[in-house]
Amino acid sequence: MIHMSYDFRCRDAGAPTCGGHITAESEQELRDKLTAHLRKHGVDTPNETLLDHLVASAERR
């Protein structure tokens, strides 16, 4: 299995004033952490389209 880690910064996803920085070792972990973080942006239940967009904007290593 190919190991992939993700490095997400809110400012790269269109929220320049948020210092949010999330790292994850899998796409599922990234999605879970994004869902939790989005509450700080007033989003209680993000839809899949938003999550897909944010996952796509994360840096993969």
Contact residues toward Zn ion (CB under 5 A) are 10, 18, 20
Burial zone of 20 (CB within 10 Å; 0-12 exposed, 13-18 middle, 19+ buried): middle
Minimal distance in Å, beta carbon 40 to Zn ion? 6
Closest to Zn ion by CB, 10 or 24: 10
Minimal distance in Å, beta carbon 23 to Zn ion? 14
3-state helix, strand, coil in the chain (%, to 5): 50, 15, 35
Minimal distance in Å, beta carbon 11 to Zn ion? 8
Q: Please identify the residue of the shown chain whose CB is closest to the bound Zn ion.
A: 20
